[in-house]
Amino acid sequence: MENYPNRRSIRLKNYDYTQSGIYFVTICTSERKQTLGQVQNGDIVLNTLGKVIKEEIEVLTKRFPGLEVIAFCILPNHIHLLLDLPGKDTEGSYEQFGKPVPGSLATIIRSFKSKVSWKAGKQNYKPAQPIWQQRYYEHIVRNEDEFQKTFDYVVNNVQKWESDREFFNGN
């Protein structure tokens, strides 16, 4: 273990991330660089990398049967996903560093990020740095009111780009 960096987990301790539920996920680009496209007149205009990401979001449900992508939003330097995980009837399904658990939120996100990076490389996208930040933000949606607020946030996020704190990050 001494070869691995000592990272503090933001995950809920002893929470089974394979269980059925609605999850709000935000994944940022490396150094929050605006590498996915541009917002013009309240709409996102995706570049090649942004289009790869959109394609991979749209096939997530084929790669992970039972998973539902309720809503998503791609912005110049991050993406939002609202996911419905079907849940698994497994014991001992807690993810540990370096040990993926099929159907877990972490495995789905890791697989998605990896596939985007691989596919972008196949299209000769060769960035000076990795595409993604190492971590991602996740929130477990706990009730209907929270679901509606999160859904509205995701579907309306592009129109709010210029007021987003990530918009003015110097890129």
pLDDT at 57 over 90: yes
Q: Which residue has the higher pLDDT, 63 or 164?
A: 63
CATH number at residue 69: 3.30.70.1290
Q: Are the C-beta atoms of residues 53 and 74 closer than 8 Å to each other?
A: yes
User: Which residues are CB-contacts of 7 (< 8 A; sequence separation ≥ 6)?
Assistant: 134, 135
Q: For the chain, what is the largest distance between any 2 Cα atoms, rounded to a whole number of angstroms?
A: 50
Q: Is 2 domain-assigned?
A: no
Please report where in the chains the tokens 């099929």 appear, as a residue.
102
The span from the CA of 132 to the CA of 145, in Å, is 31
Q: Which domain holds residue 30?
A: 21-159
pLDDT at 5 over 80: no
In the chain, the percentage of residues whose pLDDT exceeds 90 is 57
Buried b / exposed e over 123-145, threshold 16 CB at 10 Å, is eebeeeeebbbeebebeebeeee
**What is the pLDDT at residue 90?**
47
Instruction: Report yes or no on 124 lying in a domain.
Output: yes
Is the distance from CB of 171 to CB of 28 less than 8 angstroms? no
Domain assignment present for residue 42? The answer is: yes
The helix/strand/coil state of 22 is strand
Q: Is residue 51 part of a domain?
A: yes
Q: Give yes or no for a contact between 29 and 133, defined as CB atoms under 8 angstroms apart.
A: yes
Q: Is the pLDDT of residue 14 over 70?
A: no
**Per-residue pLDDT band at 165 (split at 50, 70, 90):** low
Any domain includes 10: no
> Is 122 domain-assigned?
yes
- 114-157 pLDDT, tens digit each: 999 999 888 877 776 789 998 999 999 999 999 999 999 999 99
Number of domains in the chain: 1
The conformation of residue 102, written as its DSSP 8-state character, comes to T
Nearest-angstrom CA–CA distance, 148 and 113: 26
pLDDT band at residue 35 under the 50/70/90 scheme: very high
DSSP lists the bridge partners of residue 71 as 82
Q: Is residue 93 part of a domain?
A: yes
Residue 71, in any domain of the structure: yes
User: pTM for this one?
Assistant: 0.82
The full DSSP string for 115-165 is HHHHHHHHTT---SS-SB-S--EEEEE-SHHHHHHHHHHHHTTGGGGGGST
Which residue did the predictor score with more confidence, 69 or 89?
A: 69
Tokens representing 155 are 């579907």
